[in-house]
Amino acid sequence: MTRLLRRTTTARSTEPATDGGEAPEQPEETAVATTRTPAVATTRTPAVAAAEAPGDAAPEAPGGATTLVEGEPEATDGDAEVPVRSFPATWQKAALVSAVAALLLAGSAFFHGAHQLTSTSSARNHALTDAGATARVGGDVGEGLARIFSYTPASDDAVERSAGTVLAGRAARQYADLFAQVRAKLVEQRITLSTQTVRTGVIELDEDSARLLVFLDQTSRRDDARQDEPTATSAAAQLTVTAKFQGERWLIVDIKAR
């Protein structure tokens, strides 16, 4: 009877050592153990009795004692049983570790793949993909260019001031230089320049910088007092414009004629 008890307790205490699906098998083992007990008892009495004595006192049997008690009864039912009990422990561990490693590897590969897809230059360019932002930058830039390149003889100061709200960086410097050069001539010859943006296309667009291609129609009229009718000349202009988003508006930072 005590041996019966002994077998059950050892079976239970060995559970943690062998991780995984040992639990459902426990009743089986104990059942097996119970059937074996009578047969074992007769042959192993001295050894078992010796192991039992300290075991009885402490229900939580130390590892060594349990293995000793475990190993011996199994040996009677065939040598193949011994490897099954001790190999699965490490085999299961290896399976678990490799499963975890495989999953982590697969997960990393997926994340890497996703990152590759979302960080191509095509993905970082929001032109046309973000319809609202595209319309916004096209509108701001087109409007800005029309404003800074339209002036009447009387409004040259106003135009220069508005250039501050439209231009920044290199474009602002270039414009200031250009304007300084032609200003006197414009006022003297009473030239009216009117610019209209006829086409805008966004080449590149991200959160705060953009590149556009703009077609402008420019008409200059000369109010010459000597002539009866003002002469008008029209010209087409094509510009590649680089813009930066600053202070809730798109500002033009570079202009290149095409």
Closest contact distance (angstroms) between CB of 13 and other proteins is 9
Query: According to the binding rule CB under 8 A, does residue 100 interact with other proteins?
Result: yes
Query: According to the binding rule CB under 8 A, does residue 75 interact with other proteins?
Result: no
Q: Which is nearer to other proteins, 60 or 228 (CB)?
A: 60
Provide the 10 A C-beta neighbour count for residue 40: 20
Query: Dihedral of the CA atoms 90, 92, 98, 104 (nearest 10)?
Result: -130
CA-closest candidate to residue 243, choices 232, 254, 233, 229:
254
Q: How many residues bind other proteins (CB under 8 A)?
A: 66
Query: According to the binding rule CB under 8 A, does residue 165 interact with other proteins?
Result: no
Q: Which of 213, 244, 249, 254 binds other proteins (CB under 8 A)?
A: 213
Query: According to the binding rule CB under 8 A, does residue 62 interact with other proteins?
Result: no
How far apart are the C-alpha atoms of 139 and 156, rounded to whole Å?
23
Amino acid at 59: P
Q: Bridge partners of 244?
A: 209, 251
Closest contact distance (angstroms) between CB of 27 and other proteins is 12
Closest contact distance (angstroms) between CB of 189 and other proteins is 21
Query: According to the binding rule CB under 8 A, does residue 39 interact with other proteins?
Result: no
Q: Where are the alpha helices (DSSP H) in the chain?
A: 2-14, 25-57, 63-75, 81-118, 121-124, 131-148, 156-166, 169-189
Q: Is-contact 226 215, C-beta < 8 A?
A: no
- Rounded to a whole number, what is the distance in angstroms from the first to the last CA of the chain? 102
Q: Is-contact 166 144, C-beta < 8 A?
A: yes
Q: Which of 47, 75, 109, 180 binds other proteins (CB under 8 A)?
A: 109
Q: Which of 158, 178, 180, 203 binds other proteins (CB under 8 A)?
A: 203
Query: According to the binding rule CB under 8 A, does residue 159 interact with other proteins?
Result: no
- HSE-up of residue 258 (Cα within 13 Å, Cβ side): 10
Closest contact distance (angstroms) between CB of 231 and other proteins is 16
Which residues bind to other proteins, rule: CB under 8 A?
A: 15-22, 25, 28-29, 32, 77-78, 80-81, 84-85, 87-88, 91-93, 95-96, 99-101, 103-104, 106-111, 113-114, 117-118, 122-123, 125-129, 131, 196, 198-203, 212-213, 215, 217, 219, 234-236, 238, 240, 258
